[in-house]
Structure 1
Amino acid sequence: MINISGYVSDADEDMVEEKNIISVNSCGYYRLVKQTSFETNRPAGRSDYQLLYVAAGSARFKIDGKIQVVEEGYLVIFGPCEPQYYIYYLSDNPEVYWLHFSGAEIDIYLKSLGFNHGAVFKVGVKNEYIPIFEKIIKELQVKRSYFFELSNLYALELLSLMSRNMTENSFNLSHIGEQLQYVIKLIHKNSNERHIVTEYAKLCSMSTCWFIHCFKQYTGKTPQQYITDIRIAKAKELLSYSSYNITEISLIVGYDNPFYFSRIFKKNTGHSPREYRNRLDT
């Protein structure tokens, strides 16, 4: 069996550290070569979290008391003190990367990314994951200056990428994603014009509700908030670098009523347009 791994300390300890958002304890890679199987059984689990990513082949995990075959491109996360059982078979050609970590309110952070421990997540087979795992392993092995801090940053990058890919995989990105990209280009091109969400939904052959849902999944914002953010960004630029007055800027970015524009601007920036411009002049 090929086992490449690195540890924060000299031993494989399930340490709990709560000073950082995430604190990596160890990271590694398994691949069976001649050994017919490899089994891990921790009835009491560990005190830290464990992430296992099946990069190739498949592996078998006990989830909710039942053995599940987890295919490549899927992720399993075990929480603290959660029973762990998994087994790799040579015939399944498994290649698995793993990460042990803890952190300040890490459970809340994982849930914000859509990861609940004790579950299986489809994050896809992505070339971008492997180099990050390898960087963490190298940092933990060599232990150069700031290796711990860099390992933690790489782990955050890894989780963020996996969360994004999982979200995008939840709806057919190859089809819906292309439609949304087209709509987003139209929004940017015509940001100062009147936007009707129902018309954009029709362009994508979707109901309005489903379009709004998919748009938010794809961008993290509703269509209206996305449009507003573009307009506010343009207004900030004009307030900073042009001599247009507030009414003129309101019309340029797409608001017929300057009072409404000022209200929207303040709601999104905390300052009125005039206050924003005056702050730049001081």
Structure 2
Amino acid sequence: MSTPSSWPLTSDSIRFVVPRRVVAALASHPLSAQLYPLGIGYYQHARGHRMQRANHDDNLLIYCLEGRGKLTLNGRGRTVKPGDLIILPRGLSHSYETRDQDPWSILWVHFEGELATRFIGQLEVDDGSALLPLGIHSRLVADFEALLDARQASHNLTAFIHCANQLRQLLTHIALLKPMATRPAGDSMDLETIHSLMQARLHEQLDIDTLAQVVNLSKFHFIKKYKALTGTTPISHFIHLKIERACHLLDVTSKGVNEVAWALGYDDAYYFSRIFKKSMGMSPSQYRRIRLGGFSYKN
């Protein structure tokens, strides 16, 4: 692990370094070799905390919860604010420090593994700043805190393997949050309103023009922004919601396929069945047979 800072730990802060013997076991175990933690911590109101690394030999995430700090890469300084995530992959020289007049509180994890570079790659920021403005998310905080629970594990390898897989969850959770974080200023869109409208209109058809009007955008710009934020098109998401609802109706009611299709705004049951099969890989009747034990998840 890269040399940790010499910041004197306070009573309300945590610094946990995974024992080297455990690190070696994680690096060779098939359930953890791809990704595993080296050190985990929480620094509260860390006045005087600063670090500079010319040779960074692992990967590091820092999640700022309170206060302010400064991150410097290639001579360029960036202000770190609450909700910002610092992403520092192996080999990236850097320095960071808190502001003494408004000291930061941060969660952090150093990690390694065969797939560490790929996990980091999902989080890369286009401008190369290594700073991702995620905002404060209670679930993400809980993900970091779950890693910190590893310090209670003594040298139990099974517990550390569990911790390694919780690290996977944390990194993939950040990847899910990233599209919302990287929106250009003034380029926001009220996804909650759009998705609420979709839910309210599941029983009928809904066109792009109607959705675009809700957020006062042209059809072209609406589709472009929506896909940038969600990774899919609005109509694809609407169809996905309809199929979810269809699965629910097939599970909890005795409605026939024709009735389910009609309840979701499809006059043509055959067309509905084609869309359902394209999404689920099985027909509506085959899906219902799963509930009755007559059809498997795989075949």
**TM-score, reference length from structure 2:** 0.74
Match of 2:192 among 173, 181, 191: 181
Query: Hey, what does 1:252 align to over in structure 2?
Result: 263
Q: Are 1:2 and 2:29 counterparts? A: no
Query: Hey, what does 2:59 align to over in structure 1?
Result: 49
How large is the Cα RMSD of the aligned pairs? Answer: 3.7
Runs of at least 5 residues in structure 2 that lack an aligned partner in the other structure? 1-7, 295-299
Match of 1:111 among 121, 130, 136: 121
Which SS does the other structure have where 2:52 is aligned? strand
Following the alignment from structure 1 to structure 2, what is the Cα–Cα distance between the partners of residues 31 and 172? 30
Alignment-mate amino acid for residue 54 of structure 2: P
Render the CA deviation track for 1:91-141: whole Å, top value 9, x for unaligned. 452333321012342322333355688611112244555454344234225
Following the alignment from structure 2 to structure 1, what is the Cα–Cα distance between the partners of residues 138 and 277? 43
Match of 1:26 among 39, 42, 53: 39
Match of 1:147 among 153, 159, 167: 159
Following the alignment from structure 1 to structure 2, what is the Cα–Cα distance between the partners of residues 73 and 30? 15
Mapping for residues 261-280 of structure 1, pairs under 5 Å: 261-278=272-289, 280=291
Q: Are 1:212 and 2:197 counterparts? A: no
Following the alignment from structure 2 to structure 1, what is the Cα–Cα distance between the partners of residues 113 and 64? 23
Q: Give the direction of change, closer, same or farther, for the CA distance of 1:127–1:271 in structure 2 (3 Å limit).
A: closer
Q: Give the direction of change, closer, same or farther, for the CA distance of 1:75–1:66 in structure 2 (3 Å limit).
A: same
Following the alignment from structure 2 to structure 1, what is the Cα–Cα distance between the partners of residues 283 and 117? 38
- Percent identity of equivalent pairs: 23
**TM-score, reference length from structure 1:** 0.78
Which SS does the other structure have where 1:55 is aligned? strand
CA contact (8 A) 1:16 1:102 kept: no
Q: Give the direction of change, closer, same or farther, for the CA distance of 1:66–1:15 in structure 2 (3 Å limit).
A: farther
Q: How much does 1:234 deviate? A: 3.1
Alignment-mate amino acid for residue 25 of structure 1: L
Alignment-mate amino acid for residue 261 of structure 1: F
Mapping for residues 39-78 of structure 1, pairs under 5 Å: 39-46=50-57, 48-78=58-88
Alignment-mate amino acid for residue 58 of structure 1: R
CA contact (8 A) 1:2 1:32 kept: no
CA contact (8 A) 2:150 2:159 kept: yes
Q: How much does 1:214 deviate? A: 4.4
Following the alignment from structure 2 to structure 1, what is the Cα–Cα distance between the partners of residues 252 and 283? 17
Instruction: Pick the structure with more strand per residue.
Output: 1
CA contact (8 A) 1:2 1:31 kept: no
Following the alignment from structure 1 to structure 2, what is the Cα–Cα distance between the partners of residues 280 and 138? 38
Following the alignment from structure 1 to structure 2, what is the Cα–Cα distance between the partners of residues 65 and 24? 29
Query: Hey, what does 1:101 align to over in structure 2?
Result: 111
